[in-house]
Copies of this chain bind each other. A is one copy, B any other.
């Protein structure tokens, strides 16, 4: 029988890991087991995770993960642009469209925790403009909009 790789279950995840590999090769960066595991875990979580939640999910598979190692992998993946950090919730999420380098905005539902990654031209342009107007050469833009998503508003009669 064929060797039973644990992959190939979710094609989306497979594609993301392939993309990670190609990104690393292109930049001459090393792709390690941990880095793969961290991205993989974030992707299959399907939501934002704190570094320590992530750690808990990694431990069963890799007992020697530590906070430091998780943060290191996260930093690496963020530099590559395949993971983002949500400043307002101190958590991390896999990028939803890592094909292009991008400045994104996040919409966060405070009730169900859903996070939507948006790429709004208007906001991008307006922030760039503001930076120029005030003389700042911007290199990082955090836009995190918190509220209640449509689903959650519907499902709550009131209050």
Contacts and interface: CB of A to CB of B under 8 A. Distances in A.
B134 A140 contact: no
Nearest to A153: B137
Interface stretch (A3-11, A92-100, A144-152): A144-152
A135 B109 CA distance: 10
A13 interface: no
Interface string A100-127: 0000010101100000101010110011
A142 interface: yes
Contacts of A135: 149-150
Q: How many copies of the chain does the oligomer comprise?
A: 2
A153 B135 CA distance: 9
B145 A140 contact: yes
B150 A146 contact: no
A120 B131 contact: no
B87 A107 contact: no
Interface of A: 87-88, 105, 107, 109-110, 116, 118, 120, 122-123, 126-127, 129-131, 134-150, 153
16 contacts: A87-B142, A105-B130, A107-B136, A107-B138, A116-B134, A118-B134, A130-B145, A131-B145, A135-B149, A139-B147, A140-B145, A141-B143, A142-B143, A142-B144, A142-B145, A142-B146
